[in-house]
Amino acid sequence: MIFFQFQNKNDFVILPSNLKNITSKVKSKVIYFDGSNEDALYKFGSIFHIKESNINKILENFKGLEGRQQFIAKINGVNFYNDTCATHPAATLYALKKFQNPIVIWGGVDKGADIKDLAKIFEQRKIRLILFPGSASENILKILSKQYKQKFVKPVTSMKQAIQEAFQ
C-alpha cells in the first residue's frame, strides 16, 4: 500500500526525484526533492510558507537523527559516523556520496534487495569493506570480484575488531 493513496488534490506529497515512477496515479500535488534532507526541508517550508531564514536556522542547529549519517567522534584524525538506518542499497548509495574515502562496516541479514549497483560503486571507488558474518556479507562477497575481495575486504567478528581494522 502506498502511503499517499488516500490523499486528494488539496494534499501534498514530497518525494525524492528518483521515485517519480511510483506517482502515476497520485491525486495530490507531488513535489520532488534531490534526495537530501536539506532540500526536502526547503520544499516542506515552501508549502507552509516558512521563511528560508528560519529553515537556515533549523539546519544550523539540527544535529541529525540517531543512526542517519550521525557523527560519532573524531579519533586520531578519523571521523566516525553511524549510518545504521541505511539498510537499503539506495540509502547506502546516497550516504556514500557524502564521503570521499569511506570505510564501510557491513553485515547482518540479507533482505533480498538488489545490491549489484552498490557492489559496482564499492569496486569503482575502491571502498574498503569490513564485514560481519551474515547473509548480507555473503551476498556482497558473491557479487564482488575476487581481485577486489583480496585487496579491500576484511571479515571481522566484533565491533572492536572492526574499529581496529578501520584504523589500519
Q: Is 48 inside a domain boundary?
A: yes
Q: What is the mean pLDDT of residues 30-55?
A: 92
pLDDT value for 50: 96
- Residue linked to cell 547482518: 108
d(CA 41, CA 54): 11
48-105 pLDDT per residue, tens: 999 999 999 988 888 777 878 888 888 888 888 888 887 778 888 888 888 888 999 9
Higher-confidence position of 126 and 147 = 126
pLDDT value for 51: 96
pLDDT at 1 over 70: no
| Percent of the chain surpassing pLDDT 70 | 99
The number of residues in the chain equals 168
53 and 102 inside one domain: no
Count up the domains in the chain and report the number. Answer: 2
pLDDT at 124 over 80: yes
Give buried/exposed letters for 51-73 (b at 16+ CB in 10 A, else e).
eeeebeeeeeeeeeeeeebeeee
Higher-confidence position of 109 and 161 = 161
Residues spanned by the domain of 98: 70-167
pLDDT value for 11: 93
pLDDT at 35 over 80: no
In whole angstroms, how large is the CA radius of gyration of the chain? 19
Q: What is the mean pLDDT of residues 144-158?
A: 87
Q: Is 1 inside a domain boundary?
A: no
Q: What is the mean pLDDT of residues 31-45?
A: 89
125 and 162 inside one domain: yes
Q: Is 3 inside a domain boundary?
A: no
100 and 124 inside one domain: yes
Going from the C-alpha of 98 to that of each of 36, 69, 95, 138, the distances in angstroms are: 10, 9, 6, 26
55 and 74 inside one domain: no
d(CA 66, CA 84): 9
